[in-house]
Amino acid sequence: MSSLDRARQTQLKNIEAKTGKTLAELRGLIEKSGLAKHGQIRQMLIDQFGLGFGDATMLVHFAQESDGQSAAEKAGATTQDVVSALYTGTKAPLRPVHDRLMCAIVKLGPFEVVPKRGYVSLRRARQFAMIGPASKGRIEVGLNMKGVESTERLLAQPAGGMCQFKVYLTAASEVDAQLMGWVRRAYESAA
């Protein structure tokens, strides 16, 4: 079993403990809700069980038997295939920004790249960063780290989200020492 599969299993067990319900019961509640859209189901789980964004998202993926990584694996897509699909059409000009950032991150040491539907997750023992196109004009870099003050550039996110901070990039030149200092801190804290 991969470290990612172990992490998923642990998270699902923790969700059962938090909700006091089995995964089968939770799947049944989701089905009975009549909701079909991912975001609506996620919000229902947050409201009904007090789950954080990440746990609610995991539970929706579990109940619907879908996530970006599984979809890529089932289709036989490689990580490069998924990344290429992220940066098509109006988002194609952002690919050099993504590539420059990834080249800088690779220098930090070993990590796992987990493709998702709209971004890539970067993991060591746990996720330290998320990278993907936020809109046609910028890339969103989500970072998980503690003990850091937010700035005008490093935007703190609400508790319970997928990442504690976000940075938006519009040009490859923005992959600078300041950004890489934050990325290194997130990388090191995910060991």
Q: Which residue has the higher pLDDT, 61 or 167?
A: 167
Per the structure block, which two tokens stand in for 178? 């300041």
pLDDT score for 94: 94
Residue 158 pLDDT grade (very low, low, confident, very high; cuts 50, 70, 90)? confident
Looking at the structure of the chain, the number of domains it has is: 2
> Is residue 57, in this structure, part of any structural domain at all?
yes
Question: Is 59 found in the same domain as 89?
Answer: no
> Is residue 74, in this structure, part of any structural domain at all?
no
| Average pLDDT estimate for 128-154 | 93
Question: Is 167 found in the same domain as 146?
Answer: yes
- Strands 165-169, 127-135: pairing is unpaired
> Is residue 152, in this structure, part of any structural domain at all?
yes
pLDDT tens for each residue of 97-121: 999 999 999 999 999 888 887 888 9
55 pLDDT higher than 70: yes
* Mean predicted lDDT score pLDDT of the chain: 85
| pTM reported for the whole predicted model | 0.65
Residue that is last in its domain, among 40, 66, 92 = 66
Instruction: Determine the structural domain holding residue 184 and report its residue range.
Output: 79-189
Question: Is 176 found in the same domain as 87?
Answer: yes
> Is residue 136, in this structure, part of any structural domain at all?
yes
Question: Is 83 found in the same domain as 60?
Answer: no
pLDDT score for 149: 93
> Is residue 123, in this structure, part of any structural domain at all?
yes
Cβ neighbours of residue 133 closer than 8 Å, sequence gap 6 or more: 86, 87, 91, 94, 98, 118, 119, 139, 140
Inter-residue contact 39 to 72 (CB < 8 Å) = no
